Amino acid sequence: MALKFAFYLAAGCAGCEMALVDLADRLVDALGELEVVFWAPTVADIKYKDLEAMPDKSIDVALVDGAIRLSEQEHIVKVLRQKAKILVAFGACAAMGGIPGLANMHTKDEIFETVYFKTYSTDNPDGVVPQTKCVVDGKYELTLPEFWNEVKALHQVVDVDYFVGGCPPHHEHVAKIVEAIVSGNLPPKGSWITDGKSVCDVCPRNPANKGKTREIVKEVKRTIEGIPDEDRCLLQQGYLCFGPVTQGDCGASCPKVNIPCRGCGGPLPGVKDFGARAIASLASILDDSAVDQLMEKYPSLAKLFYRYSLPVATINKRR
């Protein structure tokens, strides 16, 4: 019997859905064993009320990509949790808050002020900001979802069975996940689905993988400064790379194309706080002057170290 499958896009960019579609012919093979009962808003034409009418636990696997920012998203993931036997936080946003989660450095008022008034291209002489309700022609009531004060990861709203990192997850990794789901060969609930290896572990640039030793880094560069040598470790050249603390299910995709890792793969098993561990690891390889340079060159350390994980950071008082 085919597995009943649901996919929901919350506060994300649909890149994770593209990652699933990127499986191409392998997805076509898997589709024989999957029955898509809900895939909104991108693929299947199924309404929220149809989802709400489904019996509880009738969906075998539901994937959610994107963080939780609006009341609508919160409502739908709660419904999905009720209807699905297995709920997967699929991709960096659902698992950790992701890029939308960086908004937690700012209040709702600051965000509205910037978006509806301050940006260069905004022309808003009447000072209109989104309302949750408005009446058109005196009789039609239109509604918009509520914009919450903070962005949350999926598990901060409902119970999550599995976590998958990546922005988006690498299609090779997605293939393994789909196979695991179809065959029922899944790890204990609450785990990340991962090989558990770091990006450095699978990175061809890693000096340790070439039998060389790592040296203390004396200079910090931003990615806009110069072009990194394609063969040498980015960190060794001074480009801050979070490979040492990030899950490498991507196969080191970014370092392979001369871009340092920013941690979308999620924290390695055993790491509670990504940003804090990234500091621990970088401070071990940078020398004193390099640390000073880092603090000078990067205007916001929080947005650097918690690029994909601010909503799940141990501490954030600003939200």
What is the contact surface with another protein in residues (CB under 8 A)?
105, 272-273, 275-277, 279-280, 282-284, 286-288, 291-292, 294-295, 300-302, 305, 313-318
* Nearest alpha-carbon partner for 30 in 146, 180, 192: 180
The phi, psi pair for 13, rounded to 5°, reads -115, 5
Helix (H, G, I), strand (E, B) or coil at 179: helix
| Cβ 78 to another protein shortest distance, Å | 24
| Cβ 98 to another protein shortest distance, Å | 18
Comparison of 86 and 245: residue with beta carbon closer to another protein: 245
Query: For residues 239 and 101, what is the distance between their CA atoms, to the nearest angstrom?
Result: 24
Query: For residues 242 and 261, what is the distance between their CA atoms, to the nearest angstrom?
Result: 5
| Cβ 270 to another protein shortest distance, Å | 10
| Cβ 261 to another protein shortest distance, Å | 18
The phi, psi pair for 160, rounded to 5°, reads -120, 135
Q: If 0-12 CB within 10 Å is exposed, 13-18 middle and 19+ buried, where does residue 245 land?
A: buried
| Cβ 31 to another protein shortest distance, Å | 43
* Nearest alpha-carbon partner for 70 in 144, 156, 168: 144
Q: If 0-12 CB within 10 Å is exposed, 13-18 middle and 19+ buried, where does residue 260 land?
A: buried
| Cβ 58 to another protein shortest distance, Å | 37
Residues shown for the chain: 319
Q: In 163-287, where does DSSP find H-type helix?
A: 171-183, 253-256, 274-285
Comparison of 186 and 279: residue with beta carbon closer to another protein: 279
Question: Which secondary-structure segment (H or E) carries 39?
Answer: strand 34-40
Query: For residues 2 and 34, what is the distance between their CA atoms, to the nearest angstrom?
Result: 5
Q: Which amino acid is at 160?
A: V
For residue 273, the cross-strand partners are none
Comparison of 179 and 292: residue with beta carbon closer to another protein: 292
| Cβ 214 to another protein shortest distance, Å | 15
